[in-house]
Amino acid sequence: MDKAYIEHIKMLSNALHKEEMDDFRFHFLDMHPYDQAVYFLNQPKENRMKIYSYLSPLEMAGLMEHIELYDTEKFLTEMDPRFSSAVLAEMATDDAVDVLNEMEKDMVASFLTIMDNTAANEIKKLLHYEEKTAGSIMTTAYVAIDKTQTVRDTLKQLKKDAPEAETIYYLYVVDKDKHLVGVLSLRELIIADEDERIEDIMGEKLVYVSVGKDQEEIAQMFKDYDFLALPVVDFRKHLLGIITVDDILDVMDEEASDDYSKLAAVMDVDRPEDSPIAAAKTRLPWLIILLFLGMFTASLIGMFEDTIAQVALLAAFIPVIAGTAGNTGTQALAVAVRGLATGEYGKGDKLKLMLKETGTGLIIGIVCGVVIFGVITIWKGNFYLGVLVGVTLMITLTVATLAGSLIPLIMEKFKIDPAVASGPFITTINDIISIVIYFGIATAFMNLLVE
């Protein structure tokens, strides 16, 4: 860490300890809001209460926008209610809405009642939109210009409106009825003749999203088009707000965490401050389901009790076959889920994915089957047992790889998040498939194994 930064933090902490407000403000406000947030998060409650009294609502809002949602609620509720309401009012409207969506309805109503009416009304406009849609992440702090005005008038308007706008890289053009009709970049506006009308220089090839569009699809659009902002419209194409790239970065982080938790068979990713009981509650639902699937697997093995009794050595290779099948299935699952999440696979590509994974599974199965055949034949001196395990492994790895890619595709078809086909779930399903194949073949060729 930079020595100057360390020295800066020492002076800041010293001012806070001595309760020298002016000195603290001088050093604290000299930092980037992100660094302010990092410092704030490392403080005990006693120091945080001092910081609340030293900063204005606007200064506190800039800091809070760099703090995770699940922490923001805790800090807002420990502030004086009027101060926290003022902080929410100073935050970007979409960020304030994200915070309030994490709170109980009674608490939200309390904050909105105390808050400045103008800010409260702006927040209320966005609060009724469904979570994880364009409406819930858009901001109403944008610059809209009339298509009939001149460049000169637009520049005057921009000077007036820019301080309140979240971004001015794009100016959105509307008609008299507030329909979105065009877009103009700041660069195009600056180099245009001042007497030109906006409708003569605006771009009419618009890309926009409906207010109910899913945030994950919007994130993909930002990636595909390299946008800095994207307009949001209603079904009649009235301009309602814009989504900025910083909001989409938050969405990508949220969606990645969500997919990760599902792949790990957790209902939600554990947070550092969660108690053991809270952490267990997020993990137990899937584990209970997998427990019952495991019991079904055990009952399947019980059905082949006679086969195991005649050749007890068969049981020794159950973990090898089931474990390897689970691993290959999880690999195929990761490839499929990633491809679906990033939009790499269109309708025609999904068939190619299945064929590719089937071929990959077959090659892996043949190689692993030959290896295990050689090991068992030399190690146990039993040619037929080696053939049985080798052939079983070849078949199960092919089927497991196909299942790992097929199940997410089926889930997507039924509008279920493919990430729900978690690693542990796929592993358990492949355990069942591998055991049926293994003991089915063993039972069919029992006469060769017994001799």
User: DSSP string of 143-180?
Assistant: -EEETTSBHHHHHHHHHHHGGG-S--SEEEEE-TT-BE
Average pLDDT over residues 97-117: 86
State the pLDDT at residue 421. Answer: 54
Which one-letter amino acid corresponds to residue 450? Answer: V
Q: How confident is the model at residue 92 (pLDDT cuts 50, 70, 90)?
A: confident
CATH 1.25.60.10 region(s) of the chain?
A: 3-128
**Angstrom distance (rounded) from CA 415 to CA 217:** 14
**Angstrom distance (rounded) from CA 155 to CA 194:** 9
- Asked if pLDDT for residue 338 goes beyond 90, the answer is no
State the pLDDT at residue 412. Answer: 75
* Cβ-contact 399, 433 below 8 angstroms: yes
CATH 3.10.580.10 region(s) of the chain?
A: 144-259
Q: CA angle at residue 237 from 232 to 243, to 5 degrees?
A: 5
Secondary structure letter of residue 29 according to DSSP: T
- Asked if pLDDT for residue 192 goes beyond 90, the answer is yes
In sequence order, the 6+-apart residues with CB closer than 8 A to the CB of 204 are 181, 182
Q: How confident is the model at residue 151 (pLDDT cuts 50, 70, 90)?
A: very high
Q: How confident is the model at residue 298 (pLDDT cuts 50, 70, 90)?
A: confident
* Cβ-contact 149, 125 below 8 angstroms: no
Strand, helix or coil for residue 189: helix
CATH 1.10.357.20 region(s) of the chain?
A: 276-450
- Asked if pLDDT for residue 266 goes beyond 90, the answer is no
Q: How confident is the model at residue 54 (pLDDT cuts 50, 70, 90)?
A: very high
State the pLDDT at residue 409. Answer: 81
- Asked if pLDDT for residue 387 goes beyond 80, the answer is yes
- pTM of the model as a whole: 0.60
- Asked if pLDDT for residue 370 goes beyond 90, the answer is yes
Least confident of 79-83, 147-151, 185-189, 315-319: 315-319
**Angstrom distance (rounded) from CA 11 to CA 1:** 16
The topology under which CATH files domain 3-128 is MgtE N-terminal fold (1.25.60)
**Angstrom distance (rounded) from CA 325 to CA 426:** 10
Least confident of 136-150, 231-245, 326-340: 326-340
State the pLDDT at residue 417. Answer: 66
CATH level 2 (architecture), domain 144-259: Roll (3.10)
CB atoms within 10 A of CB 444: 11
Nearest to 293 by CA among 421, 396, 428: 428
Least confident of 166-170, 351-355, 363-367, 414-418: 414-418
Encode pLDDT of 168-178 as tens digits: 889 999 998 89
276-450: CATH class: mainly alpha
State the pLDDT at residue 269. Answer: 53
Average pLDDT over residues 281-300: 75
| Per-residue tokens: 375 | 């090991």
**Per-residue DSSP letters for 279-338?**
HHHHHHHHHHHHHHHHHHHHHHHHHTHHHHHH-GGGGGGHHHHHHHHHHHHHHHHHHHHH
Average pLDDT over residues 208-214: 92
**Angstrom distance (rounded) from CA 322 to CA 429:** 10
Average pLDDT over residues 27-35: 90
State the pLDDT at residue 230. Answer: 93
| Per-residue tokens: 230 | 């994207």
CB atoms within 10 A of CB 27: 19
**What is the CA 160 to chain-centroid distance, rounded?**
37
State the pLDDT at residue 164. Answer: 84
- C-alpha atoms less than 13 angstroms from C-alpha of 229 in its C-beta half-sphere: 23
CB atoms within 10 A of CB 442: 22
